[in-house]
Amino acid sequence: MFENFRVAMIGLRSNKLRSALTMLGITIGVAAVIILVSLGQAVETFVRDQFLGIGTNLLIVFAAQDENGQTRRLTLDEARALADPFRVPDALYVMPQYIVNRTATYGGREITARVQGVTADYLTVRSRQIVAGRFFTPQEVDGQARVAVLGVEMAERLLPGEYPVGQTIRINGITFRVEGVLNRVGGRGGFGPNEDDIIIAPITTVQTRLSGERILSGDRPLSNIIVQARSAETVDLTAQQVRETLREERNISFRDEDSFNVFTQTELLDSLGAITGLLTIFLAIIAGISLLVGGIGIMNIMLVTVTERTREIGLRKAVGAQKSDILLQFLTEATTLAVVGGGMGVLIAVGGTSALRLALPELAAAVQFSSVLLATAISVAIGVFFGIYPANRAASLNPIDALRYE
């Protein structure tokens, strides 16, 4: 085997340009597979981290159309029903949300702001922290206090160069006092609104002072309700309790469909994981076409090599070489072409992934050891698969005919 490998390397060096062009297809294919698989894995990890960053063990309740095509909005009374420990015992926190876009002004500066009305449980449910000042209290929520907490980017846009805590801003013409600033979470990277560019205020204040919206019953509507389960094991049970409670509140008979939707983080992550997984496979298949082309190139050049070395094959057989010896020699040469090309592809992939990480640091793309092993296995498989026919053709030559070949 060592002698076959040495002869193969001599053959590669004797035809450097031809060998390089032959290996180019394998090199490009292996590099493309590793880079695209690494990118797909990085995107999947990024999406998962983004959704887990909004909190843990969460359920999100949205309004939906009923059997008549009417959308029945969620209300604070329904949120209070979900917060009842006798009805939803596995719910740790229940936080209703009401979101509006309004004009915020300060010192002659005017911007459009996303205002999110929440309860005092916001920090716990959403895993956020206050970096300056304080958050509003349950008493301020009950009293419809005109207080606000700003995201970092909102504070930079609305009050540039100033310490925001204690300042007075106007939202839709209503005066609010800034009580605190939230920690930076890096936005949502394209997956949802920017959580750093928001204004947080008591939900009662947002409903009464920043919106006059009401539903047919006269209640003020909600955008959604976030429920935090006690543990990851009770998420599904909590979702079932939420569904049963809301069906009771809305008098939905057992024959009718829900007029709301309950999504869990697990369901959202599984759906997104399936999408990103299919995307990764699709990208790998596209890159695999380069490997197929490279393998065909190896078969083509090995057939040419067999033709060029016909007399050598005849001479080897004449001095006692067996068919298996000739087969192994040419198979080794084909595999060497593929493995060397694959090794160069791995090096290019490492450099390409490093460049990708510098260009998109939030993705944290990295070459996985499993990808390198996969690329090596693919290279060997290509060398064996596409080299077996030329090697078998060389091994099957008649030694007398081979010696006569010119």
Q: What is the pLDDT of residues 109-149, one digit of tens each?
A: 999 999 999 999 999 998 899 999 999 999 999 999 999 99
> Among positive and negative, which fits the CA dihedral 95, 221, 260, 99?
negative
The reported pLDDT for the residue numbered 53 is: 57
- Of residues 274, 221, 214, 15, the one with CA closest to residue 99: 221
* Residue 71 DSSP code: B
Mean of pLDDT values over 280-305:
79
Question: What separation, in Å, do the N-terminal and C-terminal C-alpha atoms of the chain show?
Answer: 29
Mean of pLDDT values over 368-375:
78
pLDDT-above-70 percentage for the chain: 90
Asked if pLDDT for residue 9 goes beyond 80, the answer is no
CA distance 160 to 163: 8
Whether 341 contacts 30, CB under 8 Å: yes
The reported pLDDT for the residue numbered 72 is: 86
Instruction: State phi, psi for 63 to the nearest 5 degrees.
Output: -75, 150
Q: Could you report the per-residue pLDDT of 270-286, keeping only the tens digit for each?
A: 777 777 778 777 877 77
Name the least confident of 15-24, 98-107, 227-236. Answer: 15-24
The reported pLDDT for the residue numbered 189 is: 44
Mean of pLDDT values over 48-72:
75
Asked if pLDDT for residue 406 goes beyond 60, the answer is no
For the packed helices 323-359 and 369-395, what is the interaxial angle rounded to 10 degrees? 150
Residues with Cβ < 8 Å from 93, sequence gap 6 or more?
Answer: 121, 124, 125, 226, 227, 228
Name the least confident of 8-12, 19-23, 48-52, 289-293. Answer: 48-52
CA distance 320 to 222: 88
Mean of pLDDT values over 159-180:
94
The reported pLDDT for the residue numbered 388 is: 82
The reported pLDDT for the residue numbered 13 is: 73
The reported pLDDT for the residue numbered 93 is: 93
CA distance 115 to 128: 17
The reported pLDDT for the residue numbered 190 is: 43
- Of residues 367, 4, 91, 72, the one with CA closest to residue 247: 72
Whether 147 contacts 177, CB under 8 Å: yes
CA distance 367 to 354: 9
CA distance 405 to 316: 14
The reported pLDDT for the residue numbered 244 is: 94
Asked if pLDDT for residue 46 goes beyond 50, the answer is yes
Across the chain, mean pLDDT equals 83
CA distance 29 to 343: 11
The reported pLDDT for the residue numbered 88 is: 93
Mean of pLDDT values over 31-50:
77
Instruction: Decide: helix, strand or coil at residue 99.
Output: strand
Higher pLDDT, 73 or 289: 73
Domains of the chain, residue spans: 2-51+270-404, 65-258
The reported pLDDT for the residue numbered 276 is: 73
Q: Could you report the per-residue pLDDT of 311-364, keeping only the tens digit for each?
A: 777 777 777 777 777 777 778 878 888 888 888 888 898 888 888 888 877 777
Residues with Cβ < 8 Å from 235, sequence gap 6 or more?
Answer: 57, 59, 229, 264, 265, 266
Asked if pLDDT for residue 249 goes beyond 80, the answer is yes
The reported pLDDT for the residue numbered 8 is: 67
Higher pLDDT, 296 or 268: 296
For the packed helices 323-359 and 16-52, what is the interaxial angle rounded to 10 degrees? 50
Q: Could you report the per-residue pLDDT of 84-107, keeping only the tens digit for each?
A: 999 999 999 999 999 999 999 998
Residue with tokens 């309950």: 262
For the packed helices 265-308 and 369-395, what is the interaxial angle rounded to 10 degrees? 30
Q: Could you report the per-residue pLDDT of 335-350, keeping only the tens digit for each?
A: 888 888 888 888 898 8
CA distance 45 to 130: 26
Higher pLDDT, 170 or 378: 170
